[in-house]
Amino acid sequence: MTRTDFDVLIGGGGMVGAALATLLAVRSNGALRIALVEPRPALMPLPQETLDVRVSAISRAGQRLLTEVGAWPLLAARSPSPYEQMIVWDAQDAVGGPDTLIFDAAEIGEPDLGHIIENRAIAAALIERALALGITLLRTPVTGLQLDRDRATVSLGDRQLSVSLVVAADGVDSPMRHLAELGGEPIPYPQTAIVTHLRPEHPHGAAARQRFLPGGPLALLPLADGRVSLVWSLPPTQAQALAALTDEAFASAVTAASDGVLGQLEVASPRSSFPLRRFNADHYATTRMVLVGDAAHVVHPLAGQGVNQGFLDVLALTDEINRARAGGADVGDPGPLGRYARSRRADNALFGAALDSIYRVYTDERDWVRRGRRTLLGTAQRLGPIKQHLVSRALLG
C-alpha cells in the first residue's frame, strides 16, 4: 500500500463533513489519519449571542450521531428545541379539521420527533470534537485534485497532500465535484425560501407547523425561547415583494398566510432568503473519491431533511470504510466506495423524487389536482400504519 500523508481527507467542514470526520475518528478508535479542510470553520456562538436565523430540524437519528461523536452535550448551551408534534394542513382547509395531518411523538412512544438547532452551532460543536479527537484541521480551500489508482493528490493552494481517500463535503456548488467531473447540475425550483424568527402571540406548544399554500409551503418551527423559525417557500417575485415590506407589514403577511394559527406574529430577527434547488449527482464515487451531503444531493426544504440525509451518507460511508479496513483493504478501495455510492444515490434519488412529487402536487393549481390533494393529508391521518411509517421515517431519517 502506498504511504500517504493522510488516510482520509474531507474537503468541507460544514455539518456533514465535520460529522464524517468525527464519526470516522470515533469508530476507528483513532486509527485513521484524518484531515478536515475548511476555509471558514464555524465558531461556537457565545451563550449571550442571539440565535442565528439558519436552523435545522435534526431527527433523532441525527441526534444519535451527534451524541456518539460527543457533540450533543456541547449544543446544550444553544438550547436545542424539541418538537413533539408536526402539524400539516392545506390552505384549502382549516388547521385541526379532519384533513389535518398530525404526527405525534407520543403515538410512537418517543419523547419528541427531533430538535430545532442552529446550523452554525452544530458545525462548531463538531469542529470542537474533531480537534479533541486529533483530526488535523486545515483552514484553507481545496484548489486542485489529481485522482490516481494508487493515491489521490489534493492541492491546497501551492501545498500538495497525498491521501488514500478524498471526500467532497463542500456543499451544493461543490468545487471538488466539478474538479473531479462527477457531473450533474442543480436544478432551480421557481421558489425562494424566506427565513426569519418570529414571536407568536400564542405558545407554539413544541409543535412544528406547516401550511401548504398555492405558492409553496410555510413552516413555523418551535424555538426554545418561545419564538418560531419561519421557512416560507414562494415564487421569487412574491419573495422580493415581501422582502421590501416593513417588519410590521411582513409580520402581518405571515400571520395571514399562516391563517393566524399562532395568533399575531411579530418579527424578531433579521430576514434572509435562499434560492431553492434540487440535485442528485450523476455519480457519487470515482477513483479514490466520494461525495457526501449537499455536494451529492439537495432536496426541497419542505420536509426539513437535507442535513439528515447527509448524516445518513456519513453513517453509510463510515460503515463501508470500517468494513474495508477490517478486511485489510485500503480505505480508497473501489469496492466499498462503489457500494456506498450505489446505495446512497438510490436512496437519495427516491427521497428526492418523493419530495419533488409533494412539491408538484401542492403547487399545481389545476382544479382536479386541487380537489384531489384536499383528501391526501386527511387520508394519511386516518390510515394509522402509513402515518406511523412516516413518523418512523422522520425519526430514522
Ligand X SMILES: Cc1cc2nc3c(=O)[nH]c(=O)nc-3n(C[C@H](O)[C@H](O)[C@H](O)COP(=O)(O)OP(=O)(O)OC[C@H]3O[C@@H](n4cnc5c(N)ncnc54)[C@H](O)[C@@H]3O)c2cc1C
* Residues near ligand X (CB under 6 A): 11-17, 37-40, 56-57, 119, 141-142, 169-171, 175, 193, 195, 231, 274, 293-294, 301, 304-308, 310
Burial (CB count <10 Å: 0-12, 13-18, 19+), residue 303: buried
In whole angstroms, the minimum distance from the beta carbon of 236 to ligand X comes to: 14
Of 100, 94, 93, residue with least CA distance to 377: 100
In whole angstroms, the minimum distance from the beta carbon of 55 to ligand X comes to: 7
Nearer to ligand X, 13 or 99 (CB): 13
Q: Any idea what DSSP says for residue 168?
A: E
Nearer to ligand X, 170 or 330 (CB): 170
DSSP output for 62-94? HHHHHHHTT-GGGGGGG--EEE-EEEEEETTS-
Measure the CA–CA gap between 299 and 57, rounded to whole angstroms: 14
Measure the CA–CA gap between 108 and 93, rounded to whole angstroms: 26
DSSP output for 245-308? S-HHHHHHHHHHHTTTBTBSEEE-S--EEEEEEEEE-S-SEETTEEE-GGGTEE--GGGS-HHH
- 13 phi and psi angles, rounded to 5 deg: -110, 45
Please compute Rg for the chain using Cα positions.
22
User: Contact, 4 vs 154, CB < 8 A?
Assistant: no
In whole angstroms, the minimum distance from the beta carbon of 370 to ligand X comes to: 26
* C-alpha cell of residue 28: 476507528
Is the Cα dihedral 198, 203, 209, 213 positive or negative?
A: negative
Element housing 112 (H / E): none
In whole angstroms, the minimum distance from the beta carbon of 176 to ligand X comes to: 6
Nearer to ligand X, 137 or 369 (CB): 137
Nearer to ligand X, 231 or 341 (CB): 231
In whole angstroms, the minimum distance from the beta carbon of 188 to ligand X comes to: 12
Nearer to ligand X, 167 or 324 (CB): 167
Nearer to ligand X, 307 or 321 (CB): 307
In whole angstroms, the minimum distance from the beta carbon of 294 to ligand X comes to: 4
Nearer to ligand X, 171 or 378 (CB): 171
CA distances from 111 to 83, 114, 127, 224 (A): 9, 9, 28, 16
* C-alpha cell of residue 118: 442552529
Measure the CA–CA gap between 230 and 265, rounded to whole angstroms: 11
Nearer to ligand X, 83 or 330 (CB): 83
Pairing mode of beta strands 152-156, 144-147: antiparallel
Nearer to ligand X, 286 or 308 (CB): 308
In whole angstroms, the minimum distance from the beta carbon of 143 to ligand X comes to: 7
In whole angstroms, the minimum distance from the beta carbon of 337 to ligand X comes to: 18
In whole angstroms, the minimum distance from the beta carbon of 382 to ligand X comes to: 27
Nearer to ligand X, 63 or 322 (CB): 63
CA distances from 192 to 18, 158, 267 (A): 27, 38, 19
In whole angstroms, the minimum distance from the beta carbon of 82 to ligand X comes to: 14
Pairing mode of beta strands 136-138, 34-37: parallel
